[in-house]
């Protein structure tokens, strides 16, 4: 903004093509770099968590009591259900009861049987009290002591026992297998005996039911007169034949009626008598008209000899000739003078055929009536057949089912008697357990490895949690994404002996990298608006202690070094600090000029830096925001911009204060200072929202206090450190380092 144009205009933020290209090029490496920086930042926390977890895990592993595992393997004989019991159409009650006696076997079922507390405790009770105490220090089998599992895709059950004594582990595993086999054999014998008794009772009951079913079938046949399904088939065939005869007779009768009606109609249409002979002679009327036509034509010829064809007399004759010719055309030339009548032979022949067709119709009607009566008489009889057939079929099915069940029970009884004499357990011991040599727990190598992995994971998680809950800004590369502004410069961190001392250019802080960072800032400000001069620049930050005042002073010094007349104005009317950094009084200053107590020339103070003057804050007003928003404050700064080449304003922090919004309306550009490891994300977001809402003319971001050894910046700063030291040593140390570096290559 120029002094003559107080209206604020937005300055669009520009991002150079070079920086955008760099971000696109190195984006994959930046992700890895961020992770490495996080690990580097949290290295002491990671180390502490790692060592703590490692110590706890190692102590836990070394203090555990040794445990020993022994395993016995059983091969189980599986069964695919109770053979022959699930019969289709048989009585389901019998199959269900037999299924209860001999349950189907599968490996998983037997695993549950072996793993039942009753069986395990029965095997455990076979140990002596001394063995129980030695193995578990208790008379109760602990839950962790046994593991029963099935090997995938096999019928093998593995019984694993864990205890503090290797010999007892093997003994107990073998006892569990033996207990299972003994119980299984006893169950098989008992189940076979129960099944045999049940089948014998069922066979006796089945004989009575089968005899009764046979009697019911015979009685039904006698009472109903219906013996088999064939009787229904024969009746249906006969009924079908009668139905076909009725249909055929009806068709023939209909045809005969149609023909008789047609012959009768033809006989009525013919006359009984016809003309036998006739005499033909010329019609006298026709001869008379022809003679008149000939006479008129002769008269016309005579007239033509005297008159022309168009004369009146000739035309009159032409009309008469035409009229007579028309009458001649309508008169018959010949007529019948005499006729003789006789009987019609065609009518006589049709009457004969009509009489024959009437006789045929009578015969067909008789045939139709007989067939229809037979068909109607048979319908009631055959309609009773489905019910009789259904009743007979139900009785026969019951009889067949009883016969099938009786046969099955007979075969089952024979099979059970064989099994009773040859019962064996449904499993065998594939391998017995033997006392192990080495302990199964703790596994020192595996436990140590797991502890190491756990320590690494815990330390990484701890670092991630610390990073997650740490809202400070650590990565300068993310500022473009967070603010949408161009990074104007990166100011390196300078070590100062006194914490109250500020690192100012030319005040004992002659680091080339430090000085060059402000030169870059000065040049970028000039390049950011090449079409107009940036005369008034406001410097702010998100919060306190981020280096905005130091940045404002050093920017003014760098402007002065460039030959420009610079004024550093302290407009932080809440906690001013520029006068302290420059060693000047604050008895008068900006507020004194605004209130009219002093002129601008009287309030401006000289500094120890060339071309740099200072306008201190002066006495603090009770209402800073309203004070800055007054026309007097604007006019003071406009006059200062007319006197000086550039006016640098040190503003208060943006977060929670409205002063910067007011200042942004009458400056040409604004710089936002972000202190690494100081500025927090919430404060920065609030600051950007405040500046965007005020439509502030942002120039960019100044990254402050960046470590010289930071990845991506170390080479830059080491370059100036390397060559900057020659100013003090006359170039000798630089020559030695270059020689040493050349030898390294």
Which of 24, 50, 61 has the alpha carbon at shortest distance from 445? Answer: 61
Map out the domains of the chain with their CATH numbers: 28-32+39-64+442-469 (no CATH), 239-383 (1.10.287), 473-707 (3.40.50.300)
List, for residues 388-427, the tens digit of each pLDDT value. 777 777 887 888 888 888 888 888 877 877 776 666 677 8
C-alpha–C-alpha distance, residues 90 and 407, integer Å: 11
* 134 burial via Cβ count (<10 Å: 0-12, 13-18, 19+): middle
Q: H helices then E strands: how many in the chain?
A: 26, 14
pLDDT for the residue numbered 390: 79
Please report where in the chains the tokens 């694993």 appear, as a residue.
Answer: 160
Residues 6+ apart with CB under 8 A from 19: 480, 486, 487
Residues for the chain: how many in total?
745
pLDDT for the residue numbered 430: 87
pLDDT for the residue numbered 167: 92
C-alpha–C-alpha distance, residues 270 and 273, integer Å: 9
Are 562 and 525 in contact by the 8 Å Cβ rule? The answer is no
* 124 burial via Cβ count (<10 Å: 0-12, 13-18, 19+): buried
C-alpha–C-alpha distance, residues 692 and 684, integer Å: 12
Q: Token digits for 712? A: 């991506």
Could you give phi then psi for residue 344, rounded to 5 degrees? -85, 110
pLDDT for the residue numbered 451: 85
Q: Token digits for 477? A: 């590369």
List, for residues 196-224, the tens digit of each pLDDT value. 888 888 888 888 888 888 888 888 777 77
Q: Using 50 as the pLDDT threshold, list the residues of the chain that sit under it.
A: 1-26, 80-104, 498-500, 715-716, 719-745
C-alpha–C-alpha distance, residues 86 and 408, integer Å: 11
| Max CA pair span of the chain | 179
C-alpha–C-alpha distance, residues 62 and 443, integer Å: 10
C-alpha–C-alpha distance, residues 175 and 719, integer Å: 80
Q: Token digits for 77? A: 């004989």
pLDDT for the residue numbered 146: 92
| Secondary structure string (H, E, C) spanning 148-173 | EEECCCCCEEEEEEEECCHHHHHHHH
C-alpha–C-alpha distance, residues 510 and 476, integer Å: 24
Are 492 and 708 in contact by the 8 Å Cβ rule? The answer is yes
């Amino acid at each position: 903004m120029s002094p003559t144009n107080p209206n604020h205009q937005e300055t669009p933020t520009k991002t150079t093509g070079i920086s955008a290209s760099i971000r696109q090029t190195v984006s994959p490496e930046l992700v890895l770099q961020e992770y490495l920086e996080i690990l580097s930042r949290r290295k002491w926390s990671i180390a502490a968590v790692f060592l703590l977890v490692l110590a706890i895990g190692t102590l836990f592993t070394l203090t555990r009591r040794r445990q020993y595992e022994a395993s016995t393997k059983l091969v189980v004989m599986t069964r695919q259900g109770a053979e022959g019991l699930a019969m289709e159409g048989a009585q389901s009650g019998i199959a269900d009861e037999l299924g209860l006696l001999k349950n189907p076997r599968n490996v998983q079922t037997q695993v549950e049987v072996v793993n039942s507390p009753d069986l395990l405790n029965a095997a455990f009770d076979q140990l002596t009290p001394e063995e129980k105490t030695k193995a578990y220090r208790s008379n109760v089998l602990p839950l962790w002591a046994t593991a029963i599992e099935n090997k995938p895709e096999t019928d093998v059950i593995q019984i694993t026992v864990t205890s503090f004594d290797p010999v007892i582990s093997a003994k107990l595993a073998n006892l569990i297998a033996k207990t299972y086999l003994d119980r299984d054999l006893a169950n098989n014998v008992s189940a076979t005996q129960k099944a045999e008794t049940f089948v014998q009772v069922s066979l006796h009951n089945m004989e009575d039911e089968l005899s009764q079913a046979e009697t019911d079938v015979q009685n039904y046949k006698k009472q109903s007169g219906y013996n088999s399904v064939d009787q229904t088939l024969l009746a249906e065939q006969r009924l079908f034949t009668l139905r076909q005869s009725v249909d055929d007779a009806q068709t023939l009768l209909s045809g005969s009626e149609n023909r008789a009606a047609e012959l009768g109609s033809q006989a009525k249409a013919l006359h009984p008598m016809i003309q036998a002979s006739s005499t033909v002679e010329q019609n006298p009327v026709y001869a008379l008209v022809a003679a008149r036509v000939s006479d008129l034509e002769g008269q016309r010829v005579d007239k033509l000899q005297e008159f022309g064809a168009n004369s009146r007399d000739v035309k009159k004759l032409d009309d008469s000739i035409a009229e007579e010719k028309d009458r001649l055309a309508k008169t018959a030339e010949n007529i019948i003078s005499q006729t003789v009548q006789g009987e019609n032979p065609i009518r006589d022949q049709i009457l004969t055929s009509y009489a024959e067709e009437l006789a045929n119709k009578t015969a067909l009607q008789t045939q139709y009536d007989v067939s229809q009566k037979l068909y109607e008489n048979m319908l009631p009889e055959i309609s009773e057949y489905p019910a009789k057939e259904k009743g007979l079929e139900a009785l026969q099915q019951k009889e067949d089912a009883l016969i099938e069940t009786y046969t099955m029970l007979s075969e089952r009884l024979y099979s059970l008697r064989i099994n009773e004499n040859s019962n064996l357990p449904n499993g065998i011991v594939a391998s017995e357990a033997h006392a192990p040599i080495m302990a199964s727990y703790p596994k020192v190598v595996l436990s140590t490895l797991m502890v190491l992995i756990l320590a690494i994971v815990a330390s990484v998680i701890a670092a991630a949690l610390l990073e997650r809950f740490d809202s400070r800004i650590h990565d300068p590369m993310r500022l473009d994404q967070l603010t949408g502004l161009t990074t104007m410069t990166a100011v390196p961190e300078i070590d100062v002996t006194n914490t109250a001392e500020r690192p100012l250019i030319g005040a004992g802080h002659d680091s080339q990298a430090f000085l060059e960072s402000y030169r870059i800032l000065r040049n970028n400000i000039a390049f950011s608006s090449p079409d107009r001069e940036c005369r008034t620049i406001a410097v702010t930050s998100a919060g306190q202690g981020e280096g905005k005042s130091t940045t404002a002073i050093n920017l003014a010094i760098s402007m002065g070094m460039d030959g420009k007349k610079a004024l550093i104005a302290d407009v932080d009317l809440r906690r001013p600090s520029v006068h302290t950094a420059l060693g000047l009084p604050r008895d008068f200053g900006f507020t004194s000029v605004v209130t009219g107590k002093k002129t601008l020339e009287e309030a401006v103070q000289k500094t120890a830096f060339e071309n740099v003057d200072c306008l201190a804050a002066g006495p603090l007003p009770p209402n800073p925001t309203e004070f800055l928003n007054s026309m007097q404050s604007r006019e003071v700064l406009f006059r200062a911009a007319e006197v000086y080449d550039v006016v640098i304003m040190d503003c208060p922090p943006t977060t929670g204060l409205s002063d910067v919004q007011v200042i942004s309306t009458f400056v040409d550009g604004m710089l936002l200072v972000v202190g690494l490891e100081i500025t927090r994300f919430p404060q920065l977001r609030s600051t950007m929202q405040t500046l965007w809402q005020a439509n502030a003319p942002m120039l960019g971001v100044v990254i402050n206090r960046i470590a010289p050894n930071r990845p991506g910046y170390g080479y830059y700063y080491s370059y100036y450190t390397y060559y900057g030291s020659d100013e003090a040593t006359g170039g000798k140390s630089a020559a030695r380092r270059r020689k040493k570096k050349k030898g390294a290559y």
